[in-house]
Structure 1
Amino acid sequence: MTDSPVRPYCAAKPRIVRPLPEGLVAVRQRLVRLMAQKWVNGTVLHYAFREGPEPQRQAVRSAFEEWKDLGIGLGFQEVDEPGEAEVRISFDQADGSWSYVGRDVLAIGTQAPTMNFGWDLTDEYGRTTALHEIGHTMGLPHEHQNPFAGIVWDEARVYEFFAAAPNHWSPETTHHNVLRKLGQDEVEGSTWDPDSVMQYAFPEGLIKEPARYQPGISPPGGLSGKDTEWVRTFYPVLPDALPALEPFRSTPLTLAPGEQADFEITPDASRKYQVATFGAADTTLVLFEEVDAELRFLAGDDDSGEDRNSSLSAKLFRGRRYVVRVRLAWAGQSGDTAIMLW
């Protein structure tokens, strides 16, 4: 994250691993795990500050805007009440900087923080820190843990370095945030980006291989070209006009893993409705209601790894606008799936 070896580092929280049934084929298990932390595109993540001086808050706001200004479908909206936010931000200076990863924030109690900043954010290192932690919340892991990086560590020196000031990390924290290689079911692609905002800076002596990084790694800070490419690919801008999901009409879905279909619902009667997918696919299904020109989460379901279909039920009102989004993790053996409203 910087070229200074004496800076403190992000200590991301351990992932909350969803148990999966035994016997899933390897490709299905990988795709389910890969999508588990990613948000349905078009989601508006609401964030709230639990405390903190205004300059630090403004630095975080600016970092959210920097991600959003890349032109993506994921939205960010500040709210006053932490209980109304998926992302709750603290500034505990004794707790370092960290975030939960992706949708793991939904498993955290509404009175607890999901992100913390433990040092000043108003300099360039602070800007990169804010971008880094928001990257975690969007579903990005640490880049230096990419299994395709080929990094061979001097593990004894790594543990020694992170146990010293200013980090004072336990061996478990060092292993989780540095030495543990991510599984191939936790990363997209097959390349390593040493310039990524999710990549730590490392001083000389911690890396044995690749040889050219023995003197250390010094990412330039900020978002790299590959960071930009990744977020635009996974969270592309969504069209303003969406196809209608008509009641009692099955709509086939032709999606690749990670792709998404979006539909508009405009009920002609106020009543309880059901929305569900059909087929053997693993999907995440989310329903939003438009309130004051903003889409608000109404209901959601995820059948990934289970022998059932995503399904949700909600009362919809005539004259209001709703949007349903379905993201596919695994298409099943046949590759066929569909969605229906009734």
Structure 2
Amino acid sequence: MCNTRPCLKLEIEDPIASFRAAINENPKNISYTNNSGLTSRTMALNAKCWHPNRHLTISFLDNPPASLKEAIKTHIWEWADYVSLTFSFIDNKDAVIRIKTDTTQNASQIGTDALTIAAGKPTMFIYARPGEADFRTVVLHEFGHALGLHHEHLHPDANIPWNKPKVYQAYAEKWGMDKESVDLNIFTPINEATTMTPYDPTSIMHYPVEKELTDGKFEVPMNTEISWEDKRIAAYFYPIEIPDGGSCESP
């Protein structure tokens, strides 16, 4: 079984506050529909995308070693080529994105849900460390959540042929996850109100799927790169202006 600690969904305590934060930040979060041909995994009843030209400040809450900070920064910056957002890392603990590294989990709020978290509290958790095989993958994945992307294995069209008893047992033994947590994080599709982009098994947002947990019928490796479809979605919601006054919505 994969040795990377799974990224677990962070529950929102106040769905109304989540909705208001999304719409106040970017009114288009309620208007993205299948009319565009590109509504997405980022959407539940509403999307949680930042305003396309938003400047996101990012800070660390627990003063990690400089080497860890720099490694996390390096991989977060990899997303910058595909979005019109700008990023800066600040020492102020009231940044928009607040990372906690003294933790036992890898997780992040989805997009604008970060605005519902009290000042000084973490919006992202990174347990992985440089030197671990999947450190870069974890950082790319968690910041994908911060941009508004959900877990791709929960796409309604994924139809992964899980052997559920094997999954319950494996995740309990390896990660101490109970049945409720496994159901939420692995088996419960995103309940989209709109048409979505095609299922992308190559997405950086996809859980690895071990062949033994599908009785040999299906497998997805640990994806280590931002996929073409990830880039396309990022460029659509955060279009990059080009010199002639247009925008680049597809990488």
Q: Name the CA shift for 1:57/1:122 in 2 (closer, same or farther; >3 Å).
A: farther
Q: What is aligned with 1:197?
A: 204
Q: What is aligned with 1:37?
A: 48
Q: What is aligned with 2:68?
A: 56
Using the TM superposition, give the Cα deviation of residue 198 of structure 1 relative to its aligned residue in structure 2, in angstroms: 0.3
The answer on whether the counterparts of 1:56 and 1:122 sit within 8 Å (CA) in structure 2 is no
SS in structure 1 at match of 2:4: coil
Using the TM superposition, give the Cα deviation of residue 187 of structure 1 relative to its aligned residue in structure 2, in angstroms: 7.1
Q: Name the CA shift for 1:220/1:30 in 2 (closer, same or farther; >3 Å).
A: closer
The answer on whether the counterparts of 1:90 and 1:117 sit within 8 Å (CA) in structure 2 is yes
Using the TM superposition, give the Cα deviation of residue 33 of structure 1 relative to its aligned residue in structure 2, in angstroms: 4.2
Alpha-carbon distance in 2 for matches of 1:48, 1:103: 16
Query: TM-score, with normalisation over the residues of structure 2?
Result: 0.79
Q: What is aligned with 1:121?
A: 130
Q: What is aligned with 1:110?
A: 119
Q: What is aligned with 1:92?
A: 102
The answer on whether the counterparts of 2:153 and 2:207 sit within 8 Å (CA) in structure 1 is yes
Using the TM superposition, give the Cα deviation of residue 29 of structure 1 relative to its aligned residue in structure 2, in angstroms: 9.3
Alpha-carbon distance in 1 for matches of 2:161, 2:110: 25
Say yes or no: does 1:235 pair with 2:238: yes
Within 5 A, what are the aligned runs for 1:93-242?
93=103, 95-165=104-174, 167-185=175-193, 188-189=196-197, 191-207=198-214, 212-213=217-218, 216-238=219-241
Within 5 A, what are the aligned runs for 1:239-254?
none
The answer on whether the counterparts of 1:45 and 1:87 sit within 8 Å (CA) in structure 2 is yes
Q: Name the CA shift for 1:201/1:38 in 2 (closer, same or farther; >3 Å).
A: same
Alpha-carbon distance in 1 for matches of 2:143, 2:195: 17
The answer on whether the counterparts of 1:42 and 1:238 sit within 8 Å (CA) in structure 2 is no
Alpha-carbon distance in 2 for matches of 1:185, 1:122: 41
Q: Name the CA shift for 1:186/1:80 in 2 (closer, same or farther; >3 Å).
A: farther
The answer on whether the counterparts of 2:109 and 2:145 sit within 8 Å (CA) in structure 1 is yes
Unaligned runs of 5+ in 1: 21-27, 243-258, 260-342
Q: What is aligned with 2:16?
A: 18
The answer on whether the counterparts of 1:64 and 1:76 sit within 8 Å (CA) in structure 2 is no
The answer on whether the counterparts of 1:101 and 1:139 sit within 8 Å (CA) in structure 2 is yes
Alpha-carbon distance in 2 for matches of 1:197, 1:186: 22
SS in structure 2 at match of 1:76: strand
The answer on whether the counterparts of 2:44 and 2:190 sit within 8 Å (CA) in structure 1 is no
Q: Percent identity?
A: 26
Alpha-carbon distance in 1 for matches of 2:110, 2:69: 20
Using the TM superposition, give the Cα deviation of residue 123 of structure 1 relative to its aligned residue in structure 2, in angstroms: 4.1
Using the TM superposition, give the Cα deviation of residue 45 of structure 1 relative to its aligned residue in structure 2, in angstroms: 1.1
Q: Name the CA shift for 1:41/1:205 in 2 (closer, same or farther; >3 Å).
A: same
Deviations 1:222-261 (A, max 9, x none): 211111111112111136899xxxxxxxxxxxxxxxx9xx
Alpha-carbon distance in 1 for matches of 2:57, 2:222: 30
Unaligned runs of 5+ in 2: 20-29, 34-42
Q: CA RMSD in A?
A: 2.7
Deviations 1:270-300 (A, max 9, x none): xxxxxxxxxxxxxxxxxxxxxxxxxxxxxxx
Q: Name the CA shift for 1:35/1:239 in 2 (closer, same or farther; >3 Å).
A: farther
Larger Rg: 1
Q: What is aligned with 2:24?
A: none
The amino acid that maps onto 2:122 is P
